[in-house]
Amino acid sequence: MRIKVQNLTVDKVKCDLLVINLFEGVKDPGGATAVIDKRLKGVISALVKSGEITGKLCEVNIVHTQGKLPAKQVLVVGLGKAADFDLDRSRKVMAAAMVEAKRIKAKFVATIVHGAGAGGLSLPTAAQALTEGCLIGTYHYAGFATIKNDSFFATEELAIIEISKSKIRDILQGVHAGQIIAESVNNARDLINAPANKVTPSYLAQVAQKVPGVKVTVLSLAQAKKLGMEAYYSVSKGSKEPAKFIIMQYGQGKPEIALVGKGITFDSGGISIKPSRKMWEMKTDMSGAAAVLETMRAISRLKARKSVVGVLPCTENMPDGQAQKPGDVIGSLLGKTIEIISTDAEGRMVLADGIGYAKKVLKVKKIIDVATLTGACVSALGDAASGIMANDQELVDQLIAAGQRTGEKLWQLPLFEEYKEYSKSEIADTKNCTEQGKAGTAIGGLFLELFAEDTLWAHIDIAGTAFLDRGRGYLSAGATGVMVRTLTEYLRS
Ligand code: BES
Ligand code: ZN
Ligand code: ZN
């Protein structure tokens, strides 16, 4: 969808659908809504008085203009109570309006920036949120279906109308950022929604290599083996699909920060094989890698003044005669030894060497890893929040704050000393997991902390948030692209 900004009054704009708004409880609409109401001879205010239009959050009402305006139809979208309005509500409202535009097959849509005046948001952030809501809210994964239906209709253009010329620059700035970020989110969703026979480690490497402004190195399995990344390559031993360890560098000089993303393109569990029910969902086990790859694209396109490296250890986890087995002891790049209790706890294995590579080879002093790591995180937080754990509280606070601005909730889980007992091994430095399954998400976090050592580090478990069974707000069912926005926001702030 094209998005443009126009210096015009709302009653002059020619389009299929013009989106104006109303706060809940407002009986006498002002601003653009008042202008349109007047041209429509009071029909909107009459519907407000009769209680048909209430302004409740995301309520949509369509009014036909019958030649009284250049716009064919007007949509009044509810903004909810003015006191509760925020950036995420702005995304939700715009998504609701665009879904309605799609339903009535409106090709050309126009809107104003919602909530920048009475809603108290700054103009660039309000315009950014509006753009994100529009593009993320209308995402549709086309996949490989050859039979097209109504869900394939796409609005061609959104025009953002602003009466005052002095505000255009701020709006353009917000739209520019919103567009880049939303495109990255939707790219990540495409990678995650796509099946594992298409999105292989080699495919991810190809996509990474095409990201503009980013220097990409791809290590083959043989190279990873030679470097001593046994924790990583032992996971790939059961798969015939070539593993790829991808490094993406943006910015000048030594990277200040590394983003490490779990890139298991399919997690069958390996020899500790998973039950077949919903096993197909494990095509999404590369959501961390997708989030990092697309964050790298976003910060490069936004020309962020930072030096960042993305590390994506990618492989399948499959059972085979050559596959690693429960009870095996495996080494790692940092030299620590690991006793495999379950081959299904493979994410932390590839991340251990991802973190090790960031530390030992790239000499990075701050690391954030993102992974669909534990089913226990889904039990604890559902799909409402990602789990965050770290060895540095400031980093946690900054990431949680970035998540509040993007509407991606992060909830901190503790890395208690007591849990460390659970993964003690008699024959190696640590077990890769435990059998009793207590505090599963923290056990995963503590395992990674062992490899982060004294480096500033945070771990984000997105097992519950990467993929939705049902749509929620501006996110449809399926991949969410979670953490692209929060990581980008964190790196830009
Ligand atoms: N990829 C899974 C975690 C997962 C589960 C992601 C559900 C998304 C939805 C991970 O590799 C895994 O299998 N973890 C095990 C760890 C256990 C063996 C300690 C789990 O959660 O059961
Ligand atoms: Zn697993
Ligand atoms: Zn996994």
Q: Which residues line ligand 1 (CB under 6 A)?
A: 267, 285, 342, 344-347, 372-376, 378, 433, 440, 463
Full DSSP string of 355-403: HHHHHHTT--SEEEEEE---HHHHHHHTTT-EEEEES-HHHHHHHHHHH
pLDDT of residue 118: 67
Q: From 283, 315, 316, 344, give the residue whose CB has the most ligand 1 atoms within 8 Å, as the site to mutate.
A: 344
Q: Which candidate, 246, 256, 185, 188, places its Cα nearest to that of 215?
A: 246
> How far apart are the CA of 432 and the centre of ligand 2, in A?
11
> How far apart are the CA of 464 and the centre of ligand 1, in A?
10
pLDDT of residue 120: 76
pLDDT of residue 259: 99
- Superfamily in which the 187-492 domain is placed by CATH: Zn peptidases (3.40.630.10)
Write phi, then psi, for 109 (nearest 5 degrees).
Answer: -120, 145
Q: Give the architecture (CATH level 2) of 2-164.
A: 3-Layer(aba) Sandwich (3.40)
Strands 386-390 and 456-461: antiparallel
Write phi, then psi, for 478 (nearest 5 degrees).
Answer: 105, -155
> How far apart are the CA of 458 and the centre of ligand 1, in A?
19
> How far apart are the CA of 441 and the centre of ligand 1, in A?
9
Distance CA 269, CA 232 (A): 15
Full DSSP string of 408-434: --EEE----GGGGGGG--SSSSEESS-
Closest ligand 1 atom to the C-alpha of 437?
Answer: 19
Q: Which residues are catalytic?
A: 274, 348
> How far apart are the CA of 329 and the centre of ligand 1, in A?
20
Distance CA 366, CA 259 (A): 9
Closest ligand 1 atom to the C-alpha of 372?
Answer: 6
Distance CA 454, CA 472 (A): 39
Residue nearest to atom 3 of ligand 1 (CA): 374
Enumerate the domain spans of the chain. Answer: 2-164, 187-492
> How far apart are the CA of 372 and the centre of ligand 2, in A?
9
Q: Name the closest ligand to CA 464.
A: 1
Residue nearest to atom 8 of ligand 1 (CA): 463
Question: Tokens 């492989």 belong to which residue?
Answer: 315
> How far apart are the CA of 155 and the centre of ligand 2, in A?
39
Secondary structure class of 491 (helix, strand, coil): helix
Closest ligand 1 atom to the C-alpha of 342?
Answer: 18
Residue nearest to atom 22 of ligand 1 (CA): 375
Q: Name the closest ligand to CA 375.
A: 1
> How far apart are the CA of 427 and the centre of ligand 2, in A?
23
Residue nearest to atom 5 of ligand 1 (CA): 375
Relative orientation angle of helices 440-452 and 347-360, to the nearest 10 degrees: 20
Closest ligand 1 atom to the C-alpha of 282?
Answer: 1
Q: Name the closest ligand to CA 284.
A: 1
Secondary structure class of 75 (helix, strand, coil): strand
Closest ligand 1 atom to the C-alpha of 341?
Answer: 18
Q: Is the fold of 2-164 the same as that of 187-492?
A: no
> How far apart are the CA of 53 and the centre of ligand 3, in A?
47
pLDDT of residue 425: 98
Q: From 262, 284, 373, 377, give the residue whose CB has the most ligand 1 atoms within 8 Å, as the site to mutate.
A: 373
Q: Name the closest ligand to CA 479.
A: 1
H or E element in which residue 250 lies: strand 244-250
Q: Name the closest ligand to CA 438.
A: 1
pLDDT of residue 149: 82
pLDDT of residue 178: 98
Let me know how many helices (H) and strands (E) the chain has, helices first.
Answer: 14, 20
List Cβ neighbours of 353 (8 Å cut-off, separation of 6 or more): 224, 229, 230, 231, 232, 313, 332, 333
Write phi, then psi, for 156 (nearest 5 degrees).
Answer: -85, -35
Closest ligand 1 atom to the C-alpha of 440?
Answer: 19
Strands 366-371 and 456-461: parallel
The per-residue pLDDT string of the chain (493 residues; one tens digit each, 9 = 90 and over) reads: 999 999 999 999 999 999 999 999 999 999 999 999 999 999 999 999 999 999 999 999 999 999 999 999 999 999 999 999 999 999 999 999 999 999 999 999 999 999 887 667 899 999 999 999 999 999 999 899 888 887 789 999 999 999 999 999 999 999 999 999 999 999 999 999 999 999 999 999 999 999 999 999 999 999 999 999 999 999 999 999 999 999 999 999 999 999 999 999 999 999 999 999 999 999 999 999 999 999 999 999 999 999 999 999 999 999 999 999 999 999 999 999 999 999 999 999 999 999 999 999 999 999 999 999 999 999 999 999 999 999 999 999 999 999 999 999 999 999 999 999 999 999 999 999 999 889 999 999 999 999 999 999 999 999 999 999 999 999 999 999 999 999 999 999 9
Q: From 374, 378, 431, 434, give the residue whose CB has the most ligand 1 atoms within 8 Å, as the site to mutate.
A: 374
Secondary structure class of 477 (helix, strand, coil): coil
Closest ligand 1 atom to the C-alpha of 347?
Answer: 11
